[in-house]
Amino acid sequence: MPLPSAIAAELVCWKCGASLSALTLPLRRLEECPKCRAELHVCRMCVDYDTGVAKHCREPTAEEVRDKTRASFCDFFKPRPGAYLAPNTAEVDRARAQLDKLFGK
């Protein structure tokens, strides 16, 4: 079935931020992002993904998945709108400048 318009507008690749509105739900286990080819049936793309809890999953009965960026067989998977987090380039630049200063570059 096509994505509902409210979810389709927000569903993006967890890795590159590309829109996934052209895809249909449920996502197949080996579904890939049309732009970066990242697997999408992954923990990082799930509504239950949370780095603040054990196993990084809020679903207490889910089996642990070690690689959160690879496709899994988890039956609890539900795609999370807005899963992409842009890298904090200002923080990276600041850290790189401090390292350059420390090591005399």
Domain boundaries, the chain: 1-105
| Spatial distance between the Cα atoms of 105 and 103, rounded to a whole number of angstroms | 6
What is the H or E stretch that residue 95 is in? helix 89-102
Amino acid 6: pLDDT: 54
Structure-derived torsion over alpha carbons of residues 49, 53, 58, 62, reported in degrees to the nearest 10? 90
Give per-residue pLDDT as tens, 22-66. 998 889 999 999 999 999 999 999 999 999 998 999 999 999 999
Global pTM exceeds 0.85: no
Amino acid 77: pLDDT: 95
pLDDT band of 100, cuts 50, 70, 90: confident
| Spatial distance between the Cα atoms of 80 and 14, rounded to a whole number of angstroms | 9
